[in-house]
Chain A
Amino acid sequence: MGLTLIPLCVLILSLRSIDADIWQHLLSFSLSQLISNTIFLLIGVALLSLIIAAPLAWLVTLYQFPGRRFFNWALALPLAVPAYVMAFAQQGLFEFSGALQTWLRPDTRNTSLFESIPLLLAVSLTLSLAFYPYVYLLARQAFQSMGQRAIETGQSLGLSRTQSFIRIALPMARPWLAAGVMLVLMETLAEFGAVSIFNFDTLTSAIYKAWFSLFSIETAQQLALLLVLFVLIVYSIEQYSRHRYIYAPRSSNNVRRTTLVGTQARMASLTAALILLFSFILPFIQLLYWSINSFRDSFTDEFIRALINSMALAVQAALLITIMAFLLSYARRRDPSKSSSFMTHIATLGYAVPGTVLAIGIFVPIAMLDNLLINWLPSANDTAAIFKGSLFVMLLAFLIRFLSVAYNTIDSGMKRISKNQEDSARSLGTSNKQLLYRLYAPLLKKSTFTALLLVFIEVIKEIPITLMMRPFDKETLSVRIFNFTTEGQWEQAALPAISIVLCALIPLLILSNQADKE
């Protein structure tokens, strides 16, 4: 897993040259505002995604109401909508009424925190609508296996179902909720497209400003380090605050759903429908409208080739990354020491680094390696690239970027396997290897499949690494989106964007079918 540390090392190496001028400028004109913007955005997105996702997951897992089976998988759909597409569509909605817009876009001349609260809310809400499915998927997993027990325990204490949810299920699900929120936070930190559509400046905006406008990649990398530090702090606080607890509930998969009737049933359906409307249906309709408008120009041979490339790439990357994450999680299980836990976490930090900064952090060492090899090999005189632009390196780069998505998902499943289960298997004389096949693999099936799905969707959406690492002329859907959106041609970008959504639907449907069978 040392590999994933390479880009971090590149970031750390940037500390060799510090541009005091630029730092001075950033410190006096923007940094404090950006840091406070970033912190409030993180808090806002974390809270809102929890508020949206946890009750929804509880609802679809433990209650029966009209449309439950549909909502169960459909509520994960916003994952397939790239955040910048979501932002663009949502902004269009906000702009629908001029009054709402002026309210959401406060006067720039005074940028005190108070006045940027409406904008902060709009951005937080948009990002939460895009990212809540991470929390939703993990929370659903948690409730599926222990929701029933939470209710039973609650009943024995004389609590209602809702009280059981708040006082027993939520605290019990904490590691899963935390893993989901961690993913959301890292996505938020690395997010650039969506925040720039709203013109809401965060640390990431400063990173790109330092690099693209002030021509100082070192300052950009140093700022990215600051961002990584942010993640480490959040992670440590979370770990420390629950260090006294041990989470290893026995899994019990037989959930008995309570059937809601009358107003309650209607309220449940309505709530789920409203969330789905804003997080998926409206952006989807916007995309559909644009796609139809531009269909004749966009539906070309190149588009079809890009579609095939994207699918193939995402499948390969998803398989590779999920297997690696599984092994990593297993290794951690075997060696649960504090230091190994910390190292594992470091290995998954790549997710929080803004895409382009991470991409160049991976590219530079690979270019160096290529240069070494080309100089050393006699027959390589005319070659410009050995590893650069190969599929192998591209997959490696995706591994660095998305390992944490797969790892967090699988590991949250691993945490559900109790020490008791392991011990009893061992007492029957099961070897380590058999333990892997007989105990871990079957019990982790669901989380492994979720991980596959998440990585598949992430890779198919990903832009900066794809741009930098892809072989010549290997166009993907996300590259097409990039090319059209850089020139502000949102309509032409819609067909590839909606194709991504449709591609993501396939694994989502399979996953939901699986869930229903069990």
Chain B
Amino acid sequence: MKKIILASLLSALSHNAFAESITVYSARAEQLIKPLINAYQAETGVQINLVSDKEAPLMERIKSEGTNTSADMLITVDAGNLWQATNMGILAPVRSTILNKNIPAHLRDPNNHWFGLSVRARTIFYNTNKVKPSQLSTYENLANSKWAGKLCLRTSKKVYNQSLVAMMVSEVGAAQTERVVKGWVNNLAAPVFADDTKLLEAIASGQCEVGIANTYYYGRLMQKNKLPVGIFWANQKTKGVHVNISGAGITKNAKNAAGAIKFLEWLSSERAQNLFADANMEFPANSKVKPDNNVAAWGSFKQNLINVSTAGAYQVEAVKLMDRAGYK
């Protein structure tokens, strides 16, 4: 009897949902996810609970909650963390012809643990008053001494740079990559920046002439004021622009896996893809969907087709390599 009373008391404390509900743990900022959740709720009546935090604490949460996790879905803003989540054994593989059709192979886990939902391109930006696009070619070329004192980089603590270097390690090996990173460090015009916006502003102000950043920061900045900064699609004659993803997977102990998979499939659909990508001026992962007009205006480009999970597999090596090369 006591046990029953206690149990009912405790369950009164906890959340009991009556309608179908899905709980999403998301590292993608709430204001970028909320419009999608609202649209899905309006369309299907499914209740979606959202828990926002950084990736690492979310993953640790799912792990420690074990079989009693509230999370049905995990959304992150880069592939490295999804790779790590798979490694930790907290994601379940999903068989879905819809997802396989909508999301290109290089933007999803080879074993279907997660799927990219938007593409974040990281490429080269330059001061239009000081640099001609013809002088630019590849990320590697920025290590050339002709850029000495002219390059700006964001801190190596940011996962975007870790992924970029990780991909490079997987393609050309550690020794070659380390030479490139050392070259970059030697060419720095200023100490590394804390964020991409600051870096782009430094290029605009002439503090440096070239730099590497994600395109949506550029989009956001240029919307506010027209700065003398141009976008250059890197490595077009070689493998293509480095891309990362914002993506999602279904948790292994999901209470409502079927519902969460349906939501994931919906997120990859044409209607949702525009909402997902345009909210932050990113590129839709679904190749049938056109990007936002402002984004499309930057011209089309070749993406590096190497699977984005590589970023996770080589991340630790990349971080250590950048430390060795003195890239702060």
Instruction: Point out residues on A near B: beta carbons under 8 Å.
Output: 25, 29-30, 98, 102, 105-109, 111, 196-199, 201, 205, 208-209, 211-215, 217, 356, 359-360, 363-364, 367-368, 370-371, 373-374, 377-380, 382-390, 392, 464, 467-468, 471-473, 475, 479-480, 482-484, 486-488, 492
A356 — which chain B residues lie within 8 A by C-beta?
A: 54, 56-57
Contacts A371-B67, A378-B7; is A488 near B323 (CB within 8 Å)? no
B15, B30, B69, B324: the one contacting A471 at CB < 8 Å is B15
Cβ-defined contact, A371 with B29, below 8 A: no
Cβ-defined contact, B157 with A196, below 8 A: yes
| Most A Cβ at <10 Å: residue of B7, B14, B280, B315 | B14
Q: What are 17 A-B contacts with C-beta separation under 8 Å?
A: A29-B320, A107-B191, A108-B188, A109-B185, A199-B194, A212-B159, A356-B57, A367-B65, A367-B68, A379-B8, A379-B11, A386-B10, A386-B13, A467-B57, A472-B15, A472-B51, A483-B29
**B192 contacts the other chain (CB 8 A):** yes
Cβ-defined contact, A360 with B68, below 8 A: no
Beta-carbon contacts of B162-195 to A below 8 Å, as 1s and 0s?
A: 1000000000000000000000011010111111
Residue of A nearest to B205 (CB): A98
Cβ-defined contact, A484 with B67, below 8 A: no
Chain B contact surface mostly: helix
A487 — which chain B residues lie within 8 A by C-beta?
A: 29, 31-32, 280
The 9 closest A-B CB pairs, nearest first, are: A384-B70, A367-B64, A108-B191, A29-B323, A472-B49, A379-B7, A483-B30, A377-B7, A467-B53
Cβ-defined contact, A383 with B11, below 8 A: yes
**B319 contacts the other chain (CB 8 A):** yes
The distance from the CB of B153 to the nearest CB of chain A, in whole angstroms, is 10
Beta-carbon contacts of B58-74 to A below 8 Å, as 1s and 0s?
A: 00110011111110000
A106, A378, A467, A488: the one contacting B195 at CB < 8 Å is A488
Cβ-defined contact, A359 with B10, below 8 A: no
**B19 contacts the other chain (CB 8 A):** no
The distance from the CB of B200 to the nearest CB of chain A, in whole angstroms, is 11
Cβ-defined contact, B255 with A109, below 8 A: no
| Beyond known contacts A363-B60, A479-B30: 6 more, CB 8 A cutoff | A371-B65, A371-B66, A377-B10, A386-B14, A464-B57, A483-B29
Cβ-defined contact, B319 with A374, below 8 A: no
Cβ-defined contact, A472 with B23, below 8 A: yes
Chain A contact surface mostly: helix
Cβ-defined contact, B157 with A360, below 8 A: no
Cβ-defined contact, B64 with A368, below 8 A: yes
B326 — which chain A residues lie within 8 A by C-beta?
A: 108-109
Cβ-defined contact, B155 with A199, below 8 A: yes
Beta-carbon contacts of B21-60 to A below 8 Å, as 1s and 0s?
A: 0010000011110000000000000000111111111001
**B6 contacts the other chain (CB 8 A):** yes
Cβ-defined contact, A370 with B190, below 8 A: no
The distance from the CB of A97 to the nearest CB of chain B, in whole angstroms, is 12
Residue of A nearest to B60 (CB): A360
A214 to B197, CA, bound (A): 25
Instruction: Point out residues on B near A: beta carbons under 8 Å.
Output: 3-4, 6-8, 10-11, 13-16, 23, 29-32, 49-57, 60-61, 64-70, 84, 87, 155, 157, 159, 162, 185-186, 188, 190-197, 205, 207, 217, 255, 280, 315-316, 319-320, 323-324, 326, 328
| Most A Cβ at <10 Å: residue of B4, B10, B195, B316 | B10
Residue of A nearest to B33 (CB): A483
Residue of A nearest to B156 (CB): A213
A370 to B65, CA, bound (A): 8
The distance from the CB of B1 to the nearest CB of chain A, in whole angstroms, is 12
Cβ-defined contact, A213 with B319, below 8 A: yes
B196 — which chain A residues lie within 8 A by C-beta?
A: 488
A380 — which chain B residues lie within 8 A by C-beta?
A: 7, 10-11
A464 to B207, CA, bound (A): 35
The distance from the CB of A166 to the nearest CB of chain B, in whole angstroms, is 39
A29, A217, A371, A468: the one contacting B324 at CB < 8 Å is A29
Cβ-defined contact, B194 with A197, below 8 A: yes
The distance from the CB of B64 to the nearest CB of chain A, in whole angstroms, is 4
Residue of B nearest to A106 (CB): B191
A106, A377, A467: the one contacting B52 at CB < 8 Å is A467
B64 — which chain A residues lie within 8 A by C-beta?
A: 360, 363-364, 367-368
Residue of B nearest to A370 (CB): B68
Cβ-defined contact, A385 with B29, below 8 A: no
A486 to B54, CA, bound (A): 9
The distance from the CB of A476 to the nearest CB of chain B, in whole angstroms, is 12
A67 to B4, CA, bound (A): 64
A390 to B197, CA, bound (A): 38
The distance from the CB of A305 to the nearest CB of chain B, in whole angstroms, is 13
Contacts A98-B205, A199-B191; is A213 near B162 (CB within 8 Å)? yes
A370 to B323, CA, bound (A): 40
Contacts A373-B10, A385-B68, A483-B29; is A214 near B53 (CB within 8 Å)? no
Cβ-defined contact, A201 with B328, below 8 A: yes
The distance from the CB of A304 to the nearest CB of chain B, in whole angstroms, is 16
Contacts A217-B60, A356-B57, A364-B64; is A482 near B52 (CB within 8 Å)? yes
A392 to B13, CA, bound (A): 10
B53 — which chain A residues lie within 8 A by C-beta?
A: 464, 467-468
Cβ-defined contact, A105 with B190, below 8 A: yes
The distance from the CB of A106 to the nearest CB of chain B, in whole angstroms, is 7
Residue of B nearest to A302 (CB): B34
A387 — which chain B residues lie within 8 A by C-beta?
A: 13
| Most A Cβ at <10 Å: residue of B8, B57, B60, B255 | B57
